[in-house]
Amino acid sequence: MTATPKYSSTFPHTDSRPNVFPLDANMNAVKLGVAPDDQVQFILDYFQAAWVEHGSEISQPAPSMTDPYGHTIEPLNNTWEMLARLRSDDAAGALELMRRLWGLQVDPDSGYYTGTFWEFVMEDGLPNRGFDSLAHAWGAGPTWVLTEATVGATAVDPGYEAWQVKPQPVDLEWAQGQVPTAYGPLTVKWAQDVDTSMFHLEVTAPGGTEGEIWVPVTDDGATLELTPGAMFLRSEDGYDVYSVADGTFEFLTVNPASLMDLVSSFSDSDGVAASLNAKPASVVDAPNAKAAANKLEAFVNEVEAQTGKALSEEEAALLIAEAEALMPA
């Protein structure tokens, strides 16, 4: 169905209600790839601009349609919107929507905590009928999203014989999860420093499986392999991509800011820290790759000179490994 000219980039309810735009129809169009590429951002922006405190309403414009029982917010529709945003590289929007709708439900101090996810809610974020389910599969979207997007574990082949781990961390400090498979658990743990974008990822894959690990990395950063056995494939869309078989694989992404932060945490001497940090601080403004490499080599030389003095051998080894990972190819 063609949308009305006034809202030419959104999908209307029916021919008889051309100025009503349902959340489910529009977000499924985006999620399933039906919406033309040039409509997607308009759809996402249009509904996000109308978010209320506890989520995205059944339809727009306000006042929203309701279901037959007067509910204005359906968790299932909000799950579809989260998935549409994830498909459109808006993980931050998906996480914000999750916090709005499900934040109240998972807060043990809210006064309404049940330990489960709810079927329907009103604009105040609460059910309004005694027979609204307080433990309903329609409300369980965060389980899917947190597993496949935040933790990042998805099946490529049935049973996870082949799999992919691609975390979308946004502003979270850590996440961990485990997916049961026919071959054993696939376990993912990650943590990040939100200020410096240093990212630490550990994946344990069961025997008989293989997969790709996508490690988030900044434009000025690099990935350090902390365990052997991973094969680098390519850099793509802000990730370094590795191929692995079964086993445990650990990665650390670093950049000049995270290297400087590590120096400051290791050294008790402000003077030593300032001298060391001057080198990676100047890498960002280096006129070319050779000049950047020279700065990092000077950093390595000074770290070696401070080993056993301002720095322990273990601290120095990690700083040198990170600096060498940042060396231009």
The single residue listed with the structure tokens 């601290």 is 315
Share of the chain above pLDDT 70, in %: 98
DSSP string, 76-100: HHHHHHHHHHHHTT-HHHHHHHHHH
Where is the domain boundary, 222, 254, 286?
254
CB proximity list for 123: less than 8 A, separation 6 or greater: 52, 53, 54, 57, 72, 73
Same domain, 175 and 231: yes
pLDDT for res 201: 98
With respect to residue 150, please indicate whether it lies within any of the assigned structural domains: no
Report yes or no: 319 and 266 within 8 Å, Cβ to Cβ.
Answer: yes
SS3 311: strand
Q: Which pLDDT band, with edges at 50, 70 and 90, does 322 fall under?
A: very high
| pLDDT tens sequence across 154-195 | 999 999 999 999 999 999 999 999 999 999 999 999 999 999
In a domain? residue 43: yes
**Which has the minimum average pLDDT: 8-22, 77-91, 209-223, 280-294?**
8-22
201 and 271 inside one domain: no
Q: Give the model's pLDDT for residue 17.
A: 87
Q: Give CB contacts under 8 A, 24+ apart, made by 34-37.
A: 35/11
In the chain, how many domains are there? Answer: 3
Give me the mean pLDDT over the 27-31 stretch. 97
Question: What is the pLDDT confidence band of residue 273, given thresholds at 50, 70 and 90?
Answer: very high
Q: In the predicted model, what is the mean pLDDT of residues 128-146?
A: 90
% of residues, the chain, pLDDT over 90? 87
> Residue 200 is part of which domain span?
161-254
Residues 266 and 280 in one domain: yes
Mean pLDDT value across the chain: 93
Return the ∠ at Cα 275 (arms to 272 and 276), rounded to 5°: 85
Position 15 pLDDT exceeds 90: no
Cα–Cα–Cα angle for 136, 137, 138, rounded to 5 degrees: 90
Residue 211's pLDDT is: 98
Same-domain status, 202 and 216: yes
312 band by pLDDT with thresholds 50, 70 and 90:
very high
34 within 8 A of 92, measured Cβ to Cβ? no
Residue 106 dihedral angles phi and psi, to the nearest 5° = -100, 0
Residues 6 or more apart whose Cβ sits within 8 Å of residue 22: 11, 13, 58, 59, 65
Q: How far is Cα 142 from Cα 83, in angstroms, rounded to an integer?
A: 10
On whether residue 205 sits in a domain, the answer given is: yes
What is the predicted pLDDT for the residue at 8?
A: 63
CA distance 319 to 15: 64
- 75 is a domain residue: yes
Task: Say whether pLDDT at 65 is over 90.
Answer: no
Which pLDDT does position 4 carry in this prediction? 41
Residue 97 lies in a domain: yes
Classify residue 55: in a domain, yes or no: yes
Q: In this structure, are 306 and 215 located in the same domain?
A: no
CATH number for position 226: 2.60.420.10
Q: Are residues 191 and 320 in the same domain?
A: no
What pTM, to 2 d.p., does this model score? Answer: 0.89
Predicted pLDDT at 66: 84
